[in-house]
Structure 1
Amino acid sequence: MSSTNQARLLPWAGLEGKPCYLAGDGTGYLSRLADNMESVQLGLAGELVQEAQRVLDRRQWTAGELHLLAVQLTEALANVHRIAVSRGGRLLAPAYEDLDALDESDDEHDQQYAAQPIQLG
């Protein structure tokens, strides 16, 4: 299994849309296939974002164009979300002994900068 001792969520669904998982060390054929598929999905999502921006910038579109765009963006977002969940699940947990102490230091940092006024233009 992976270094986090969890199965990998694959970038495709199984029967009836159920998630597929892979147990292994991440070096086999299916792992490489999943890596390649994730790369393709992320590339297509990037291209779709650019296309959506072009459609919206025109400020002239049909209901059909908007519907198709919404369908494609939803599919791409679902793929990107699945990739993010999969990769997040494979990250090593931080080696902090006291996560509460870390949260407190973040709060102090946020308060320090929140008290400073922001100068615009």
Structure 2
Amino acid sequence: HSSAQAELDRIEIERPNLFAALQQPPDEPSTAPGFAGATGSDKLARVIAEVYEVTGSEQNTLDIVRGSPVGWFDNRSSGKQSTYTDPDAYQRFLAKDVRRVINKKQQHNAAQTAGVTMSL
């Protein structure tokens, strides 16, 4: 039972909306509160940001996203289908995207602490 699996179990209990979003392909419009209407890269970024809120770990966040339908190669968004034609390249993209979203989130949190609002 990895720490990522333990975190996923926690998400299922504590954040059912996030858990629901993890179980859907990025292009499938979510109806879960907090994700409603978000699709594609936007949905993926929101999922990553929330998973990171729970885990506080880049590796666990990546493991959870990669292991869930939202991050599966076969479920990649239409915008990524022509760009990433093999699973390895898509996995590298996911790793970069997780890092990008976490960096943005950390900047956002720092800005909020300083009393500045910033759009994700």
Work out whether the TM-score is over 0.5.
no
Larger Rg: 1
- Relative to its length, the structure with more helix (as a share) is 2
* TM-score, structure 1 normalization: 0.30
Q: Which is bigger in relative contact order (C-alpha 8 A, separation at least 6)?
A: 1
* TM-score, structure 2 normalization: 0.30
- Relative to its length, the structure with more strand (as a share) is 1
